[in-house]
Amino acid sequence: MKSSAFLYPWDVAGDPAAASRVADLGVRQVTLASAYHSTRALTPRHPRRRVVTAEYAAVLYPPDEQRWRGRTLRPRPAGSWVDGPDAYGTAAAALEAAGLEVHTWVVLAHNSRLGEEHPDTNVVNAHGDRYPWAPCIAHPEVRRYLVDLAAEAAVRPGARGTELESLGWYGLAHLHAHDKIGGVPLGDAAQYLMSLCFCAYCRAGYASLGADPERLAAAVRQALAPAWAQGSTDAGLPAVEKLLGAESADVALTWRLNRARSLQEQAVAAVRAAAPAGFQVLMHADPAPYHCGANAGVDPAHILGHTDGLVLPCTGGPAVREAMLTPTVPHARPGSVLAANFTVVGGMGGRPGELAADAAHAAALGATELRLYHAGLASEADLAAVREALAGL
pTM beyond 0.75: yes
As a whole number, the mean pLDDT across the chain is 96
Q: Which residues contact 2 (CB under 8 A, 6 or more apart)?
A: 28, 29, 368, 369, 370
- Residue 189 belongs to some domain of the structure: no
- Residue 187 belongs to some domain of the structure: no
Distances (CA, A) of 281 to 151, 161, 264, 334: 11, 6, 11, 15
Query: Measured between alpha carbons, how far is 115 from 175 in angstroms, rounded to an integer?
Result: 16
Q: What's the domain range around 128?
A: 2-180+259-391
Q: Are 35 and 59 a contacting pair, CB within 8 Å?
A: yes
Q: Which residues contact 183 (CB under 8 A, 6 or more apart)?
A: none
- Structural domain total, the chain: 1
Query: Measured between alpha carbons, how far is 139 from 218 in angstroms, rounded to an integer?
Result: 22
For residues 220-240, average pLDDT: 92
pLDDT given for residue 333 in this prediction: 97
Query: Measured between alpha carbons, how far is 167 from 152 in angstroms, rounded to an integer?
Result: 15
Residue 316's CB: how many other CB atoms inside 10 A?
16
CATH code of the domain containing 102: 3.20.20.80
Share of the chain above pLDDT 90, in %: 95
pLDDT given for residue 176 in this prediction: 65
Query: Measured between alpha carbons, how far is 22 from 37 in angstroms, rounded to an integer?
Result: 23
pLDDT given for residue 167 in this prediction: 98
Asked whether residue 183 carries a pLDDT value surpassing 90, the answer given is: no
For residues 153-168, average pLDDT: 98
pLDDT given for residue 180 in this prediction: 72
Query: Measured between alpha carbons, how far is 292 from 172 in angstroms, rounded to an integer?
Result: 9
For residues 129-154, average pLDDT: 98
User: Could you read off the pLDDT of 50-107 as tens digits, one per residue?
Assistant: 999 999 999 999 999 999 999 999 999 999 999 999 999 999 999 999 999 999 999 9
Reference 106, options 284, 345, 306; nearest CA is 284
- Residue 332 belongs to some domain of the structure: yes
Query: Measured between alpha carbons, how far is 2 from 369 in angstroms, rounded to an integer?
Result: 5
Asked whether residue 181 carries a pLDDT value surpassing 80, the answer given is: no
Q: Are 148 and 266 a contacting pair, CB within 8 Å?
A: no
User: Could you read off the pLDDT of 317-360 as tens digits, one per residue?
Assistant: 999 999 999 999 999 999 999 999 999 999 999 999 999 999 99
Reference 154, options 253, 35, 15, 298; nearest CA is 35
- Residue 229 belongs to some domain of the structure: no
pLDDT given for residue 388 in this prediction: 97
- Residue 385 belongs to some domain of the structure: yes
- Residue 232 belongs to some domain of the structure: no
- Residue 124 pLDDT grade (very low, low, confident, very high; cuts 50, 70, 90): very high
- Residue 174 pLDDT grade (very low, low, confident, very high; cuts 50, 70, 90): confident
- The CA-CA-CA angle for residues 340, 345, 346, to 5°, reads 115
- Residue 120 pLDDT grade (very low, low, confident, very high; cuts 50, 70, 90): very high
pLDDT given for residue 185 in this prediction: 86
Query: Measured between alpha carbons, how far is 220 from 249 in angstroms, rounded to an integer?
Result: 9
For residues 369-380, average pLDDT: 98
- Residue 142 belongs to some domain of the structure: yes
pLDDT given for residue 371 in this prediction: 98
The radius of gyration of the chain's CA atoms, rounded to the nearest angstrom, is 21
Q: Are 34 and 61 a contacting pair, CB within 8 Å?
A: yes
- Residue 334 belongs to some domain of the structure: yes
User: Could you read off the pLDDT of 258-306 as tens digits, one per residue?
Assistant: 999 999 999 999 999 999 999 999 999 999 999 999 999 999 999 999 9
User: Could you read off the pLDDT of 26-35 as tens digits, one per residue?
Assistant: 999 999 999 9
